Amino acid sequence: MFCSGCGQALASGQTFCAHCGRPSVAVIPPVPGLPYQVENYAGKVRTLSIFWFIYAGVSLLLGFAGLAFLHAFLNNAPWMHGPWAHGPGMNGPWPGPFPPNFFGPALLHLAWLFILVRTVLAAAAGWGLMEHAPWGKVVAIIAAIFNLLKFPFGTAMAIWTLVTLLGYRNSTLYEQL
């Protein structure tokens, strides 16, 4: 260690410079309670990751149930006529460029894809947060942004995630994990 005034070498524990009399720079103490803050924040992140796993499972189950109902409703409804109808209810050739059963199954497949992507994203967010991976924070923020409009549970998960992970203090604590 050297004197900040004259540059003379100082012995360890020496509080004043022997040459110029300037006080030596005090060692900055560590942040008080940092281990406690990191441990507390780790518990919050762990709880958030568990809820992302639960949200992924519930989202998959409700999406499966809803799409199964929609599929049964659209395919077995005898009163359906028009672009969703197909089979014995249709009389004559289809006047459009697509067959009569094109749009319904295509939209159902698109909905399945959307539900699977949302579920995988939520599960990846849960896994990344559980492992305290640097990519986990980014994936969780992306999943939160996608779920902001999924009222009420998706919105609640998104707000909780953004409040827990964003901000200087929280970013610093997440890096300490």
pLDDT tens readout for residues 99-121: 555 566 777 888 889 999 999 99
Kindly state whether residues 114 and 44 are assigned to the same domain. Answer: yes
pTM: 0.67
Kindly state whether residues 26 and 74 are assigned to the same domain. Answer: no
Domain count, the chain: 2
Kindly state whether residues 8 and 82 are assigned to the same domain. Answer: no
Kindly state whether residues 133 and 84 are assigned to the same domain. Answer: yes
Kindly state whether residues 10 and 44 are assigned to the same domain. Answer: no
Lowest mean pLDDT of 39-48, 85-94, 131-140, name the range. Answer: 85-94
pLDDT (average), residues 69-84: 62
Kindly state whether residues 9 and 81 are assigned to the same domain. Answer: no
pLDDT score of 99: 55
pLDDT score of 135: 94
Kindly state whether residues 119 and 72 are assigned to the same domain. Answer: yes
Residue 95 lies in a domain: no
Residue 125 lies in a domain: yes
Lowest mean pLDDT of 6-15, 44-53, 62-71, 156-165, name the range. Answer: 6-15
Could you give the CA distance from residue 20 to residue 36 in angstroms, rounded to a whole number? 42
Kindly state whether residues 112 and 70 are assigned to the same domain. Answer: yes
Kindly state whether residues 79 and 136 are assigned to the same domain. Answer: yes
Kindly state whether residues 11 and 47 are assigned to the same domain. Answer: no
The domain in which residue 85 lies consists of 34-89+100-176
Lowest mean pLDDT of 58-62, 71-75, 136-140, name the range. Answer: 71-75
Kindly state whether residues 41 and 19 are assigned to the same domain. Answer: no
Kindly state whether residues 5 and 79 are assigned to the same domain. Answer: no
